[in-house]
Structure 1
Amino acid sequence: DHYIELIRALFGLTRAARNLQDDLNDFLALIPTDQILAIAMDYLANDAEVQELVAYLQSDDFHKIITTIEGLPEFANFYNFLKEHGLDVADFLNEIHSIIGLPPFVPPSRRHARRGVGINGLIDDVIAILPVDELKALFQEKLETSPDFKALYDAIRSPEFQSIISTLNAMPEYQELLQNLRDKGVDVDHFIELIRSLFGLP
């Protein structure tokens, strides 16, 4: 039975080195798992109220509650906190999804959870899911290992390319565009500085 597998998953979360998982295991060691499983099986098979609860857990109303909670940035932060401290609950949550009829659980790091509004919100949400450290590391690796990439990088930093940038900056139409974005609340200057910092541009 799926619900029995859920209980087993709860008492057998992925084990790791000494961390939150071990702390949890210390508590779980005190729990009579086999007895709990036997009780659960009996109720699931014979109790109308428990069966009614199971039906509710598989309903659209309950699905909406789960998806709303999992879409919160606070949920993502807590999930990542647990994972960083050695407690991987992804399999357990995926088991819940499977049991109640939801699509497979997607960890927050791979999922877009909308947090803001407007253009700034869009930019912030996109930046939030970018693997910045990995991008910087790959950027440095390409500079060292790819002649073509190094040539492109040198071209972007060359006086000729900077002349193009200077010409663009001097255009009234371009400055008007930037000002219009600022007037709409878009932090253009921060975004430009972020790009420069990310890729080491002048």
Structure 2
Amino acid sequence: MKRIAILATNGFEESELKSPKEAMENAGFQVDIVSPENEEIKGWANGNWSDTYKVDKTLNDVKAEDYNALVLPGGVINPDKLRRNDEALLFVRDFFKMKKPVAAICHAPQILISADVVKGRKMTSFSSIKDDLVNAGAKWIDQEVVVDEGFVTSRNPNDLPAFNSKLIEEIKEGKHEEQHA
């Protein structure tokens, strides 16, 4: 059974965690919410705090080796917190080093900029961070989902159906020799 890590902390966009998690579980994958926080994290929806979600594993208890793929939900607060966490950046980088699928939506690519894994990669994001990605060396494309050798990105919650579909496809394919940072 494939094991997937969703890396998130307080302030994640609720739909961008909940929807991929349900889609992956429906595909038969075991999905863990991994966080620097222990016990639970609080989502964000419609401009307000939303539901809390149980943290399955704390970041200091896991390694990229434990998982087949990584999913990064967006939100504005979540990526800003994670990109300042050295342990989170190391965890993200290790998935790229091991050529495993990584998926990020909305503002989550901010974490990837700080992890220094976007240079030369085709990707998309929420429009407000396009310049940040281009300045970090990414080839930004305005499409609902962009796939680059096991690296899946989407713009916003409206893109979740396409994001989830490609995410599951890439996880089933497994490691991608061309996946790189």
With the shorter chain as reference, the TM-score category is under 0.3
In the superposition, the TM-score normalised over structure 2's length comes to 0.25
Query: Rg bigger for which structure?
Result: 1
Q: Whose helix fraction is larger, Structure 1's or Structure 2's?
A: 1
In the superposition, the TM-score normalised over structure 1's length comes to 0.23
Q: Per chain length, whose mean CA-contact separation is higher, i.e. which structure has more relative contact order (CA < 8 Å, sep 6+)?
A: 2
